[in-house]
Amino acid sequence: MARAALREPSLPLATPAGPEHDVRLLADHRDDLVEERQRIIRRLRWNCHDLEVALELPPRVLDRYVWLDKLEAALGLLPESMRRRIAIDQVRRCRELTADIRALEREIREHVRVLAPELTEVPGCSALSAAHLVGQTGTASRFRSEAAFAMHVGTAPLAVSSGKSERHRLNRTGNRTLNSTVHIIAVTQARMHPPAIAYIERKRAEGMSTREALRCLKRHITRTLYKTMLRAERARGAGVVHVDFSPVVVAEAV
């Protein structure tokens, strides 16, 4: 890292301070609580299996109050035991974590509404995704170009051409949190956003696999996100709270 800094004096300066850093801390804390809740849910399901609870629990429902209440009531009907006591404690802990996570998400939405509300106008970009983009990027203006930002995100194509075959492989470098966020946006667009669906189909018709087409889509979404964050920063710098423009998603790259 020291050699890279000496060799490249014009590297972008990361400034971990200010509202962007606060958003990053909130988003990271929320993710930590979600992971903790998932660990507890796994143990809770195992305890319910051993206790033979008379309640069928569908997948991914133990982050909802109504199912936690149902499970606590079902556990209350069982005979006293240490496993039952632990399971009830786990249910209550899941309820507490869910309340904390939802409170953090509300706070994150408020911060995003101030920092970069334009990001949530990009199809597939939720407030949480926008928080990760703003928090992990810091300021988009620190990158000299959208290509440099794409390399930082890990969505810049890496050529693996051989002879007459021209192909690109998965880029495993860059900020993996940002890469995961862009991937979520791309998958959502590929499922629900008509321009993105048409773009994927066109790439597949050209001979690309679905994964290769998705990587192309991620690269174009990265361009859109960079330009959106850059315009949001300039708008804030000019004292404009929110500029209502529609960010280009795929059409500009067709």
The whole-angstrom separation of Cα 40 and Cα 62 is: 10
Max Cα-Cα span within the chain: 72
Domains of the chain by residue range:
19-113, 117-253
Each residue's pLDDT tens digit, 48-93? 999 999 999 999 999 999 999 999 999 999 999 999 999 999 999 9
The whole-angstrom separation of Cα 47 and Cα 224 is: 47
Residue 18 has a pLDDT of 82
Give me the mean pLDDT over the 176-186 stretch.
95
Q: What is the DSSP string of 60-115?
A: T-TTSHHHHHHHHHHHHTSPP-HHHHHHHHHHHHHHHHHHHHHHHHHHHHHHHHHH
The whole-angstrom separation of Cα 158 and Cα 244 is: 35
> 231 — alpha (psi -120 to 50), left (phi > 0) or beta?
alpha
Exposed/middle/buried for 211, CB within 10 Å: 0-12, 13-18, 19+? exposed
Residue 246, helix vs strand vs coil: coil
Pair 197, 190: CB distance under 8 Å: yes
What average pLDDT does the chain have? 87
Residue 12 has a pLDDT of 62
Q: What Å distances lie between residue 177 and 7, 61, 158, 215, CA to CA?
A: 27, 25, 19, 16
Q: What is the DSSP string of 18-38?
A: SHHHHHHHHHHHHHHHHHHHH
Give me the mean pLDDT over the 186-213 stretch.
93
| Residue 73 identity (one-letter amino acid) | A
Pair 48, 71: CB distance under 8 Å: yes
| Angle CA 247–251–254, to nearest 5 | 145
Each residue's pLDDT tens digit, 112-170? 999 899 999 999 999 999 999 999 998 898 898 999 999 999 888 776 555 555 555 56
Q: CA nearest 178: which of 151, 210, 199?
A: 151
Q: CA nearest 133: which of 122, 187, 171?
A: 122
The full length of the chain comes to 254
Residue 240 has a pLDDT of 59
